[in-house]
Structure 1
Amino acid sequence: MIESRLNGRKFIVVSNREPFMHRRKEQGTVECIRPASGMATALHPIMMASGGTWIAHGAGDADRETVDAQDCVMVPPEAPGYKLRRVWLEPELERGFYYGLSNEGLWPLCHITFTRPEFRPQDWQAYKEANRIFAEAVLREVDGERALVFIQDYHFCLLPRMLREMSGGKIVCAHFWHIPWPNREVFRAFPWGEELLDGLLGNDLLSFHVHYHCQNFLDTVDRTLEARVDTDRSEISKGGHVTRVRPFPISIDFAEDSRKAASPKVKAATSLWHQKLPGLKGRKLGASIERLDYSKGIPQRIHGLEYFFASHPEWREKVCFVQIAVPSRDNLSSYRAEQEAVDAAVERINSRYGTAEWQPVHLLKEHHGPDAMMALHQMADFFMVNSLHDGMNLVAKEFVASRNDEHGVLILSKFTGASRELPQALTINPYAIEEIATAIEAALAMPLRRQQQRMRLMRDQVAHQNVYRWAGRLLMTLFRVEHLEDDDDEHSLEAEPVIEE
């Protein structure tokens, strides 16, 4: 159990996005929601098992009125299991830290989607200030005791070094990087590269989804800083401190997702889909669910569908595609441009091939609850994840977990970490619309027996490499790092999850 392994240490998770948000409804009442986030979905069971503290930015319009005098609230509301401590950022600071440096700078830099990053000195200053504010929140929560701090993602590159220097060595830091790490030539474009890398090397353990991203990071440090990089042991020594760099592919709570997929609520949601979109009935269905983000390849997907209908006229009026694209960061020009590109692509394919009785693509730019999304998973004859670049992509795994019937075909971009774990998917180059069209035709023509064979293997993989095993391997490695034990035995523990389901 994670509590016994912590051995009296405080366990703290730090992320920008909060796992629960309070917002005011039109009627004036306050509701607590779980924002769409693969990271929050993966970490929630760990927090429930540890009873620790999650520190995050309070972004809900009713967040301030639901916390106590220490800016804390117990979550989830229906069965409180851990503490959420909210950090407040002034709007101008948030714009520079989150929308500026993080999402106009680091996000496009790390996702090789040919979107030019923007680097503004004032955003870098805001980024540093926000990291300092979070460091102070962590130290208040630690209160001089021993603690294990688990930092999430690219928003907090400077936080590990700050915590190491401000705590006097009482804090052990692990950092999970949820997005890709670019090669060293791409990273050279970042104006404050040495300072950012030095911040990350304040970690005791730095982890990525796949080995390739670990190698990119080691190579980047080797060519940028005065540090000893041991590629054989995947370690970096700087200033007498060792940072271990490891791949830990993140996953989902397969058993829980599979159980929910079989629930009456999901079955009822299927009927609601047919009521909402009556044109789906009697036709083959393709689907995709994600944030409206330029890294997800939504316009390319629609262009692939258009090419499919052009080259396979026999499938016209026989196939519908439902695209859920939840608006995201729409105050950034690059995201507004992506929305316009998606709208234009959908309008073109529907104008070109749609009839009075049939619409090829249904674009839904709105959030849907887990029951509705699982129902759509189960209805889909094929499900597409064609990200232009992704660290892992948990949506692909959620589709697999939802298919208790072992039917359906997953079409998956080869530029996702998930493609390394799910080779039974139909793998595509998301930039190649001919490949997308070919994969759609192959998915529609695939016999049920072949679908079952592929889906069964993918379900076995996701069930085995679940979120508990991910957390267990990562935390076991971190505990060994803290005790300075011989790393040679580390991989023998990979099959022993710390957290029990």
Structure 2
Amino acid sequence: MDKAEFVVVANRLPVDRTVDADGSDAWRRSPGGLVTALEPVMHKADGAWVGWAGQPDVVLDPFEFESTLLVPVTLSAEDVELYYEGFSNDTIWPLYHDVIAEPRYSRLWWDAYVRVNRRFAEAAAAAAADGATVWVQDYQLQLVPRMLRELRPDLVIGYFHHIPFPAYGLYSQLPWRRQVLEGLLGADVIGFQRVADAGNFARAVRRQLRYETKASGIAVPNPDGTTRMSLARAFPISIDASSYIELARRPDVQERARQIRESLGNPKRIFLGVDRLDYTKGIRHRLKAYGELLTEEKLSVDDVTLVQVASPSRERVAAYIQLRDEIELTVGRINGDFDTMGHTAIRYLHQAYPREEMVALFLAADVMLVTALRDGMNLVAKEYVASRVDNRGVLLLSEFAGAADELGTAVRVNPHDIEGLKEAMMRAVEMSPGEQGRRMRAARRRVLEHSVEDWSREFLEALEKFHPRRSVSDDRDHPQIDDQAVLDALARVAASDRLLVALDFDGTLAPLEDEPMNARALPTAAAAVAALAALPDTPVAFVSGRSLHDLREIAEHADDAQIFLAGSHGAEFWLPGEGALETDDDEDAPTLRDELREEMTAQVGDLQGVWVEPKTFGFGIHTRVASAADAQTARDAADRLVQERAPHWRRRTGHNIVEYSFRHEGKDSAIAALRERLGATAVLFAGDDVTDEDALASLGPDDLGIRVGDGQTAASVRVGSIQELAAALALLARMRAEGRE
């Protein structure tokens, strides 16, 4: 068997086994999003895919399929029962989904899980070339990274966790909690859907293993006494939006959508739910809310129909058998109470459909109900948005689904709040076409600008950058500071009694991103910041124009972090041990802020590459991926609106962004406040943008200002890049540490 430079390890192979008319076996590509995401990578790298063929007791040799080497792992019927249906889906699945159903703990299941994970690891080790990259997928294989590292320490290992990772109070119930954490930490990079999931994982590692966890990585001890770093962070997955758009524009699919509406009696509104039949999806909650709206006569079956597609899932697991019985009983009761001869309350479909039919359903549906009680991402929400090429329809989205982090213009709901869910459903039914358009355009922009291929590329780029085998002699990633002025300035402030190191984030520690919430500090920068923060009398602060909420997310800032934060240009603060400080505002200001945001969202909705970012005290107009003409149109419109409605607001410009705020603080006031609170005898501040110049200009003779990149500046020294700043901060940390020995 040829060795592969890139190996994917997943529970299932990317193909489904079929039988031809002549009775011979055949294979067809699976329709899943993961297969779509990795297809280009597999072809480019002549990759291999290790997985189960989907049927018990089938022994197959490795074989080629569409330029990919497939390496089947054999599972016996007992393996399927104990490892897959037992530990994976009756222990891990309910535990990691907030114990919506009670997890069961069986030593027999655990033993099978270990045994099967070992089998997958051995198959991957045999398929991988020297120094290959191996990417392990999901909760069924959490032990594989460590097993693989023990078998093949030469490999670069990544792991992606597609489902939620629970809070420590729940995770700690798992009898084998340490073994699972140690298994995952065998990977160089561990990816999660949400920042909160990565934070939950890091907290579990701290509590259980007592390893040091920082934004720069988790220090994992090696058997020989050395330490390596493992990075845990969020990489939200997406879909192949172009394929849904192509289908949605096909005349036959559009005609099928018309037929669906006609078959339902052409109701005024169609609600749609599309889910696996799973207790995590909140199907019972949406049925309850819908039934109550019919009972209260707020909705009528003459006007509204709910279509619920519930594809079969884990039909041999007791909890799923019970769930199906409950849902079908509820559907039958509601239909019995409210159906008429011409209209039905709920069209319930317990079957799976091809993608063409699903897109037709998306086009037919006026309101998409995604009411998951807990979900890693929920790609159905993104599929609905991508399919709505008419920029109409309403997405009603659970705040407990990962998609809620990205699709901010959806109508967000807490599915446990039945009254709130009912109100949201009525709001969706009554929403004007104009508001639908504004919300849907913004949601589609996010889905179209972040594809599933972007997801795989970002993960693999992070894996390449983070892996410790990268040469430290690579000047692009590890530049040396040879500017004597910078060296002298660093030596001077390194001798300060109490040095405040205050740093802008975007463009200073993290590369600028087209999607700003994707920004993360470079590993070298994060490591240098962590080294400074660990020193005595060296408080570190991030001073950013971001809202405090967004700054905490992109900085991966945990509740027990020791780094101070100043958000919204110094209008918000977060202090270690105290948390966020409350701010006093004009009580009318938030109302005006919301009105202006909504008006601007409507005005720029048709401008490609322009979007409105909500901020705590105002909003920003982003134009990084817009044409020059559209960017100018957006800025002019915002200037006119703010001048007319809020002439007292402060206007700031930055890298392809204009910000408007009813708070007038600047980064200079943030530095002054932090200096006083921390008793700093000197301040180092580094920034890259126009908005940083207030702070740089405010520094005194004992301080040090560093400008990152080009542009006019009040800073006393300049470095050329984020990498050079990281090197300067690392050198400063060494200077201060040596000066205190």
Q: TM-score, normalised by structure 1?
A: 0.89
How big is each residue's C-alpha offset from its partner over 1:219-275, in whole Å with a ceiling of 9 and x where there is no partner?
101010142222x4243333322111111111112223212221244235335635x
Output aligned runs, 1:310-459, within 5 Å.
310-459=295-444
Please tell me whether the aligned partners of residues 146 and 187 of structure 2 are also in contact (alpha carbons under 8 angstroms).
Answer: yes
SS in 2 for 1:241: strand
Task: Report the CA distance shift for 1:300/1:189 in structure 2 as closer, same or farther (over 3 A).
Answer: same
Please tell me whether the aligned partners of residues 267 and 305 of structure 2 are also in contact (alpha carbons under 8 angstroms).
Answer: no
Q: In the alignment, does 2:62 pair up with 1:71?
A: yes
Q: In the alignment, does 2:37 pair up with 1:53?
A: no
Q: Which structure's CA Rg is the greater one?
A: 2
Aligned partner of 2:159 in structure 1 is: 175
Please tell me whether the aligned partners of residues 23 and 60 of structure 1 are also in contact (alpha carbons under 8 angstroms).
Answer: no
How big is each residue's C-alpha offset from its partner over 1:184-207, in whole Å with a ceiling of 9 and x where there is no partner?
111111001111111111110001
More displaced stretch, 118-127 vs 425-434: 425-434
How big is each residue's C-alpha offset from its partner over 1:11-61, in whole Å with a ceiling of 9 and x where there is no partner?
111111232111337984656455564434443444345441221111158
Q: In the alignment, does 2:101 pair up with 1:115?
A: yes
Please tell me whether the aligned partners of residues 121 and 148 of structure 2 are also in contact (alpha carbons under 8 angstroms).
Answer: yes
* Number of equivalent positions: 476
Output aligned runs, 1:461-480, within 5 Å.
461-480=446-465
> Per-residue deviation at 1:310?
2.1
Aligned partner of 1:85 in structure 2 is: 71
How big is each residue's C-alpha offset from its partner over 1:417-476, in whole Å with a ceiling of 9 and x where there is no partner?
101111111111111222222122111111111111110000101111221222222111
Task: Report the CA distance shift for 1:294/1:429 in structure 2 as closer, same or farther (over 3 A).
Answer: same
SS in 1 for 2:100: coil
More displaced stretch, 325-334 vs 21-30: 21-30
Task: Report the CA distance shift for 1:484/1:215 in structure 2 as closer, same or farther (over 3 A).
Answer: farther
In structure 2, stretches of 5+ residues that fail to align are 479-504, 519-741
Task: Report the CA distance shift for 1:354/1:30 in structure 2 as closer, same or farther (over 3 A).
Answer: farther
Q: In structure 2, which of residues 181, 188, 191 is the aligned counterpart of residue 207 of structure 1? A: 191
In structure 1, stretches of 5+ residues that fail to align are 1-7, 75-79
Aligned partner of 1:246 in structure 2 is: 233
Structure with more contact order per residue of length (Cα contacts < 8 Å, sep ≥ 6):
1
Matched residue type, 1:73: E
Matched residue type, 1:254: A
Structure-2 separation of matches of 1:42 and 1:438: 37
Matched residue type, 2:52: H
SS in 2 for 1:197: helix
Structure-1 separation of matches of 2:284 and 2:22: 37
Task: Report the CA distance shift for 1:385/1:87 in structure 2 as closer, same or farther (over 3 A).
Answer: same
Structure-2 separation of matches of 1:139 and 1:162: 10
Please tell me whether the aligned partners of residues 211 and 247 of structure 1 are also in contact (alpha carbons under 8 angstroms).
Answer: yes
Aligned partner of 1:258 in structure 2 is: 245
Structure-2 separation of matches of 1:279 and 1:157: 45
Q: In the alignment, does 2:277 pair up with 1:287?
A: no
Please tell me whether the aligned partners of residues 207 and 245 of structure 1 are also in contact (alpha carbons under 8 angstroms).
Answer: yes
How big is each residue's C-alpha offset from its partner over 1:304-348, in whole Å with a ceiling of 9 and x where there is no partner?
111121234453321111111111001000111111111111111
More displaced stretch, 52-61 vs 453-462: 52-61
Task: Report the CA distance shift for 1:117/1:186 in structure 2 as closer, same or farther (over 3 A).
Answer: same
Q: TM-score, normalised by structure 2?
A: 0.61
Matched residue type, 1:263: R
SS in 1 for 2:11: coil
* Higher percent of residues as helix: 1
More displaced stretch, 113-122 vs 211-220: 113-122
> Per-residue deviation at 1:283?
3.9
Q: In the alignment, does 2:320 pair up with 1:301?
A: no
* Identity in percent: 33
Task: Report the CA distance shift for 1:43/1:288 in structure 2 as closer, same or farther (over 3 A).
Answer: farther
Structure-2 separation of matches of 1:323 and 1:130: 36
Alignment RMSD (CA, Å) = 2.5
Output aligned runs, 1:212-227, within 5 Å.
212-227=196-211
Structure-2 separation of matches of 1:290 and 1:44: 25
Please tell me whether the aligned partners of residues 9 and 50 of structure 2 are also in contact (alpha carbons under 8 angstroms).
Answer: yes
Q: In the alignment, does 2:177 pair up with 1:193?
A: yes
Task: Report the CA distance shift for 1:380/1:430 in structure 2 as closer, same or farther (over 3 A).
Answer: same
> Per-residue deviation at 1:481?
1.4
Matched residue type, 1:212: A
How big is each residue's C-alpha offset from its partner over 1:62-100, in whole Å with a ceiling of 9 and x where there is no partner?
976xx6xx33230xxxxx242322211111012111111
Please tell me whether the aligned partners of residues 58 and 74 of structure 2 are also in contact (alpha carbons under 8 angstroms).
Answer: no
Aligned partner of 2:113 in structure 1 is: 127
Q: In the alignment, does 2:10 pair up with 1:10?
A: no
SS in 2 for 1:244: strand
Task: Report the CA distance shift for 1:362/1:28 in structure 2 as closer, same or farther (over 3 A).
Answer: farther
Task: Report the CA distance shift for 1:63/1:88 in structure 2 as closer, same or farther (over 3 A).
Answer: closer
SS in 1 for 2:264: helix
Task: Report the CA distance shift for 1:309/1:30 in structure 2 as closer, same or farther (over 3 A).
Answer: farther
> Per-residue deviation at 1:171?
1.0
Matched residue type, 1:182: P
Please tell me whether the aligned partners of residues 42 and 250 of structure 1 are also in contact (alpha carbons under 8 angstroms).
Answer: no
Matched residue type, 1:340: D
Matched residue type, 2:211: A
Task: Report the CA distance shift for 1:15/1:314 in structure 2 as closer, same or farther (over 3 A).
Answer: closer
Matched residue type, 1:238: P
Structure-1 separation of matches of 2:181 and 2:307: 41
How big is each residue's C-alpha offset from its partner over 1:88-125, in whole Å with a ceiling of 9 and x where there is no partner?
11110121111111111111111015311011001111
Aligned partner of 1:3 in structure 2 is: none
> Per-residue deviation at 1:278?
1.7
Matched residue type, 2:15: F
Matched residue type, 1:126: A
Structure-2 separation of matches of 1:286 and 1:248: 31
Structure-2 separation of matches of 1:98 and 1:209: 22
Task: Report the CA distance shift for 1:279/1:293 in structure 2 as closer, same or farther (over 3 A).
Answer: same
More displaced stretch, 146-155 vs 37-46: 37-46
Please tell me whether the aligned partners of residues 201 and 238 of structure 1 are also in contact (alpha carbons under 8 angstroms).
Answer: no
